[in-house]
Amino acid sequence: MKTIGLIGGMSWQSSKFYYEYLNQIVAERLGGSHSARILMSSVDFSGIERLSFEGDWDAIGQLMAKEAKRLETAGSDVVILGTNTIHLVAEYINRAISVPFLHIATATGAAISERKLKKVGLLGTQFTMEKDFYTKILTEDFNLEVLVPSPEERVYLQDLIYGQLVKGVFTNEAKERCLEIIGNLKKEGAEGVILGCTELPILIPGAEVAIPTFDTTMLHSKAAVDFAMR
């Protein structure tokens, strides 16, 4: 089994699920006492959050490249980044390492295509919903039509994610508001919805949503295990 390198801490609330899912999937596939081979470099999110709001993506890219190289040097055979938004600097990571880097949007797009869906909603930070680093992969590589919430709803999601979810605050009020936003996307024709922030699946149980949901944390973890066991 190959070793998975995970850049975590963005936020640690979702990173703990990456660790759980990676091990859980390996155990389910191999049985017995098997678990995943994982190296994790967990960063302090505070500085990265500040840089993202300042728009200094070059500085973030350099930090992520450094962490990825550290994981490769330590023995990782593949690297994943445990966040949706910071994939905005994926190219910095790709240039820094010689081992494969698995993009979260690619794992998500593949899962949507398997379900034969053509039009999906995307929830996440404003960076994820409004910039094209994520939607470009979905549209160009998987021929998907991607719907995003209204401008007001995008502001709400941004404030919710950074103000509550990354701090471990998950309320029923926030869940109901997100379900309402998903309902509005469904009215616009969304056949499924991407929970494109790794904290959102913690807040919104898929069973409570009227259309298929795509848990990016789980899908990314499955893609990493697929590679590690190949």
Structure tokens at 145: 């039509």
Q: Catalytic annotation on 178? A: no
Catalytic residue among 83, 85, 106, 213: 83
Region 116-133: mean pLDDT is: 97
Catalytic residue among 85, 135, 178, 197: 197
Region 169-175: mean pLDDT is: 97
pLDDT, tens only, 210-228? 999 999 999 999 999 999 9
pLDDT higher than 90, residue 128? yes
Distance, in Å, from the CA atom of 218 to the CA atom of 25, rounded to the nearest integer, reads 9
Res 207: pLDDT:
87
Residue with tokens 């790794």: 198
- 183 CA to centre of own chain: 22
Q: Catalytic annotation on 83? A: yes
Res 187: pLDDT:
98
Q: State pTM to two decimals.
A: 0.95
Say if residues 216 and 194 touch (Cβ distance below 8 Å). yes
In the chain the domains, ranked by start, together with CATH numbers, are: 4-103+218-228 (3.40.50.1860), 105-216 (3.40.50.1860)
pLDDT, tens only, 56-105? 999 999 999 999 999 999 999 999 999 999 999 999 999 999 999 999 99
Region 154-179: mean pLDDT is: 97
Region 5-18: mean pLDDT is: 95
